[in-house]
A and B are shown apart, each in its own frame.
Chain A
Amino acid sequence: AQSVTQLDSQVPVFEEAPVELRCNYSSSVSVYLFWYVQYPNQGLQLLLKYLSGSTLVESINGFEAEFNKSQTSFHLRKPSVHISDTAEYFCAVRISSNTGKLIFGQGTTLQVKP
């Protein structure tokens, strides 16, 4: 069975510092990978996704994630965070041959401090 592990439940960081949110998955078949962000009292929004092609994917607000097949990881990074990045971040995996079900990690709360 597939699973997703987000290694940190909370990540506190100061504004303008770099951050990495870790995500590992287990699957014996090829997958699609997603990062979603949930701002306080809101629903989930797609941040970025890996379907195929370049293993480094970027979002419009400065986040990036790299698909590492050998390490089965899809870590999320940002070189300099803002207060507005404070949110909960979810990693999710979908089996590429499957018809749409997502498996979510437990979530990581990013707390950006001034």
Chain B
Amino acid sequence: DADVTQTPRNRITKTGKRIMLECSQTKGHDRMYWYRQDPGLGLRLIYYSFDVKDINKGEISDGYSVSRQAQAKFSLSLESAIPNQTALYFCATSDYQAEQFFGPGTRLTVL
């Protein structure tokens, strides 16, 4: 079984809809991250969490919110989706001073 899972894997929605992307991990890591990937821009950090009570904004947090329901779960929400939020979204986890482990990604299309 995968260490980091994301649901859904693909989602098509309409402008103005609320969307939640979910991430779960079995690695026992405290730190979790949400990124978006756009062609030619690499990965950009949206939000990150160092434990259940610690949530921090990344470089592109506008239009997004997150919830850390438990050590193993970190959800990303788009309160009112817009077309320029069409992207590939990745969840990642890490332990202190170690590399990050990535989920398989969620491809989101906002029409």
Say whether A104 contacts B94, CB under 8 Å. no
Does B48 sit at the interface, judged by CB under 8 A? yes
With both beta carbons as reference points, the residue of chain A lying nearest to B99 in the complex is identified as A46
Number of A residues whose C-beta is below 8 Å from B? 22
Most B C-beta atoms less than 10 A away, residue of A46, A99, A100? A100
Q: Complex: how many Å from CA A106 to CA B37?
A: 10
Say whether A49 contacts B40, CB under 8 Å. no
For B105, list chain A residues within 8 Å (CB): 42-43
Q: Complex: how many Å from CA A45 to CA B102?
A: 7
Partner of B50, one of A49, A99, A106: A99
The residues of A with any CB-CB pair to B shorter than 8 Å are 4, 6, 9, 32, 34, 36, 42-46, 49, 51, 90, 99-102, 104-107
